[in-house]
Amino acid sequence: MSVEEIDTLVVGGGQAGIAMSEHLSKGGVPHLVLERGRVAERWRSERWDSLVTNGPAWHDRFPGMEFESESSDAFVSKEKVADYFAAYAEMIAAPLRLGVEVLEVQKIGGRLGFLVRTSAGLFQASNVIAATGAFQRPVIPALVPDNSGHMQIHSSGYRNPDQLPSGAVLVVGAGSSGTQIADELARAGRQVYLSVGPHDRPPRAYRQRDCCWWLGVLGKWDSPAKEPGAEHVTIAVSGARGGNTIDFRQLAAQGITLVGRTQSYQGGVIAFNADLPENIARGDSYYRSFLDEADAYVARNGIDLPEDPDARRIEPDPKCLTDPILELNLSDNGVNSIVWATGFAADYSWLKVDACDNRGNPIHQRGVSTEQGIYFLGLPWQMRRGSSFIWGVWQDAKQIADHIVTKRNYFAYRVPSADERR
């Protein structure tokens, strides 16, 4: 069987793979990007219909191209994001092979490099970059049995309210996905229960600047790691309907019943932790300290931005917060479906090299793995907070490309001949 040789293989043609291709080309590294679907397939087909970006168009993009026909403050639809990356790939003439799935990567015995088995044949590469995304395998906690009689889907499978059987819905998880889906369902007239865990809740905008701007000027996009103790804390932010702060009291005012973390299920009854007030208080505290830091920055640097006292107004607590329900009999309350907005896990089962721990998670330093020649890109907090986001992955890809270029220079070294030394 023939084997195609290439210096560097990029697995995945999402934003990470496209950014990687741009920097590899600039560094003169021969490479191919293998994508099992279309460019930015996850934006195209693995998100709900109404999804828009969480950051405005001026921010959630690569430096080399703006979103056509979008106001710079707009939150761009998922289709337009996918179109953007397809156009970007064309602009940089990314060497893409679409519809090619990487099935297995193995170290070649006794020499540098990897044998890569794909749906379109074998490749041999000195470097393989896993750019398959931070959000690969949907995670659903094993709480409610499949035969419970309630439809259960993960947020990655949710498309729109019509997809769910009529009746009330329990949405588990109140990060960016869960809160947006709960809001959409409530606006479509559904009775919604929203199970809220620990979360950070930035203001959408403050003092006429979007939170992405504040995260930038306050240096938070560059934070190297989550604060200790915040590893399992999600972030609740949304660009839906022009962009509004996620406000749980407002969601309750719309008719959504807030409940604590989903704890267990037995005989058709879901039990919730009594942690709802604590989780909401934590989000409020993050919100207030965000405003405080912004105010301090304005004062310290003499920046001319109007004050925004309304942002500090917090509505009174709704009844579901002061007296949270701890149990919900699903059938008695007409709950026919559960949307699990409970996050994703890594899946590098195709990477049969020494680069993952025994739980399958990458072992790496800033994307450079423990197996020489294997790199990761687009992981959460890979180099900084921004790493898994559009603008951040472009910066990280540059560093991975620099690493590969430097390594290629080492291998290009030849001992000068006697003539050359003279």
Ligand X SMILES: Cc1cc2nc3c(=O)[nH]c(=O)nc-3n(C[C@H](O)[C@H](O)[C@H](O)COP(=O)(O)OP(=O)(O)OC[C@H]3O[C@@H](n4cnc5c(N)ncnc54)[C@H](O)[C@@H]3O)c2cc1C
Report the alpha-carbon angle 327-319-278, nearest 5: 70
34 binds ligand X (CB under 6 A): yes
Output the six-digit token pair for 67: 């979103």
- Nearest approach in angstroms of CB 347 to ligand X is 8
197 binds ligand X (CB under 6 A): no
- Nearest approach in angstroms of CB 111 to ligand X is 24
Beta pairing class for 3-11 and 31-35: parallel
Segment lying near ligand X (by CB under 6 A), choices 133-141, 201-209, 228-236, 317-325 = 133-141
- Nearest approach in angstroms of CB 342 to ligand X is 12
Segment lying near ligand X (by CB under 6 A), choices 24-32, 41-49, 217-225, 360-368 = 41-49
CB count, 10 Å around CB of 200?
20
341 binds ligand X (CB under 6 A): no
- Phi, psi (5° rounding) for residue 251? -65, -40
- Report how far apart, in Å, the C-alpha atoms of 1 and of each of 117, 122, 409 are: 11, 8, 31
Nearer to ligand X, 131 or 328 (CB): 131
Residue carrying the six token digits 């906690």: 141
Please select the residue that binds ligand X; options are 20, 57, 94, 102, rule is CB under 6 A.
Answer: 102
174 binds ligand X (CB under 6 A): no
- Nearest approach in angstroms of CB 17 to ligand X is 6
Q: What number of CA atoms fall less than 13 Å from residue 37's CA on the CB side?
A: 13
35 binds ligand X (CB under 6 A): yes
37 binds ligand X (CB under 6 A): yes
CB count, 10 Å around CB of 299?
9
Q: Using CA atoms, how far apart are residues 35 and 39, in angstroms rounded to an integer?
A: 7
53 binds ligand X (CB under 6 A): yes
Total number of residues shown for the chain? 422
13 binds ligand X (CB under 6 A): yes
389 binds ligand X (CB under 6 A): yes
Task: Tell me the number of residues near ligand X by CB under 6 A.
Answer: 33
Please select the residue that binds ligand X; options are 258, 376, 378, 384, rule is CB under 6 A.
Answer: 378
Residue type, 353: V
Nearer to ligand X, 67 or 135 (CB): 135
Q: Using CA atoms, how far apart are residues 230 and 378, in angstroms rounded to an integer?
A: 20
* Neighbouring residues of 188: CB distance < 8 A, sequence distance ≥ 6: 161
- Dihedral sign of CA atoms 325, 331, 334, 336 in order: positive
238 binds ligand X (CB under 6 A): no
The site map against ligand X for 200-219 (x = CB under 6 A) is: --------------------
The site map against ligand X for 300-339 (x = CB under 6 A) is: ----------------------------------------
CB count, 10 Å around CB of 153?
17
Q: Using CA atoms, how far apart are residues 50 and 181, in angstroms rounded to an integer?
A: 9
User: Widest CA span of the chain, in angstroms?
Assistant: 91
16 binds ligand X (CB under 6 A): yes
The site map against ligand X for 269-288 (x = CB under 6 A) is: --------------------
Nearer to ligand X, 51 or 321 (CB): 51
- Phi, psi (5° rounding) for residue 327? -140, 145
Residues that bind ligand X (CB under 6 A): 11-17, 34-37, 41-43, 47, 53-55, 60, 101-102, 131-135, 177, 350, 378, 388-390, 393
